[in-house]
Structure 1
Amino acid sequence: MSNIVVVYHSGYGHTQRMAQAVAQGAAAQLLAIDADGNLPEGGWQLLAGADAIVMGAPTYMGGPSWQFKRFADASSKAWFSQSWKDKLFAGFTNSAGVQGDKQGTLDYLYHLAMQHSGIWVGLGMLPSNTKAAQRNDVNWMGACSGAMAQTPSDASVAEMLAGDLETARQFGERVARTAARWVK
């Protein structure tokens, strides 16, 4: 079995709920970045031992939260030694807007993975884009590079769309299947 870690920052709990769904699908460990942009004790060691790192951040102002960026900057020690080279990486995000510039955040996560000489795992799902499609369908946002969710700014964590959470769970399963093939 592969060792998968979901490292994420969540400002209001929505990204955390997505992280939990990804972790459920991937049978992964959760690693939360705190409100100051730091990992808990042992967090860097957990990432060092991971076969796959799934990164999650809310989309604020067209990119990830500053707390996630602080974590990304701190990962330069791993970058310098190339200790994450050839690990699998994947990413997910949530924002209040339907479009919300979420692709900017996924691009940021992708480029961070590429800086670390990693291998990116995309969503791997067809979009729900027929006339019969509903907002609660899996991949209703039509994402390809990672999982996306949309939660209105006045919606509680409990009001997140079941389809978005199912997309995240299935994405976690894909990361786990890919890691099982990649890590032997």
Structure 2
Amino acid sequence: MKVVIVYHSITGTTAQLAEAVAAGCRSVTAVDLQLLRIKGEDITQGRYKNSAVLEAIDQADAVIFGSPTFMGSVSAQFKAFADATAGDRWGEQLWADKVAAGFTVGTGYCGDTLHSLHYLQILAAQHGMLWTGLDLAGAGDVKAPNRLGAQAGLIVRAVDGAIEQPDLQTAFYLGQRVARVVSRSTRQEQQTERTQ
């Protein structure tokens, strides 16, 4: 079972979340995980050019997208990556039925981070992917997982350039959840193939 986490990070907070999500994925057995960071040098004249990242996603069973929230949306670098997924991958729906999830971080309690998360969700929907949100209630307890209460995925507030422990726990949980969903889906596919 192959899981890819593709993300952009400038200050390091999104990278912290990506590592926590990765740890959650790895805690589930039989996960082949790749952390793929979107880098500035991958973008030439505004166009994303790293075919190795796109090909790794082609081979994955699940993709977890991550971006900081800048000015109410994903970063320009992440958007350049997203735009590069158009064309054949979108037109032929090469990523259809892959499991998808997402996370974002901003500096405010709101900061329109939910808009960034919805952007990631729509990107997945454009590709026919199956979105996995959080199944944590998010009761508003500042020390509890999913303390900001986003069911669509993980939104986080960075404080002085750091991610707080409850948010890292939620990132770990998101990684576990995606890996479990993919594992369950893979087992069901194998059972179906055996009965046919």
TM-score by length of 1: 0.90
Task: Give the aligned residue type for 2:40.
Answer: A
Residue by residue, what CA displacement relative to the aligned partner does 1:2-54 show, whole Å, maximum 9, x if unpaired?
21000000111100110111111012320000025446562122111000000
Q: Supply the RMSD in Å over aligned alpha carbons.
A: 1.4
Q: CA deviation at 1:139?
A: 1.0
8 Å CA contact 1:31–1:39 kept in 2: the answer is no
SS in 2 for 1:149: strand
| Pair member with larger Rg | 2
Cα distance in structure 1, aligned partners of 2:133 and 2:110: 19
Query: Residues 108-135 of structure 1: CA distance to partner in whole angstroms, max 9, x if unpaired?
Result: 0011000001100001111133xxx2x2
The number of equivalent residue pairs is: 175
Q: 1:125 to 1:181 in 2, by over 3 A?
A: same
1:146 match = 153
Taking the aligned partners of 1:112 and 1:45, their CA distance within structure 2 comes to: 17
Q: Corresponding residue for 1:14?
A: 13
Decide which of 81, 84, 99 is 1:88's aligned counterpart: 99
Instruction: Show CA shifts across 1:49-93 (max 9, x none).
Output: 000000000011110001000000000131122110111110000
Using the size of structure 2 for normalisation, the TM-score is 0.85
Q: 2:81: which partner in 1? A: 71
1:169 equivalent among 161, 169, 172: 172
The whole-number CA distance in structure 2 between the counterparts of 1:178 and 1:165 is 20
| Structure 1: tracts of 5 or more residues without a match | none
- Alignment correspondent of 1:31: 36
Contact 2:138 2:144 in 1 (8 A): no
Structure 1 vs Structure 2: percent identity of aligned residues? 39
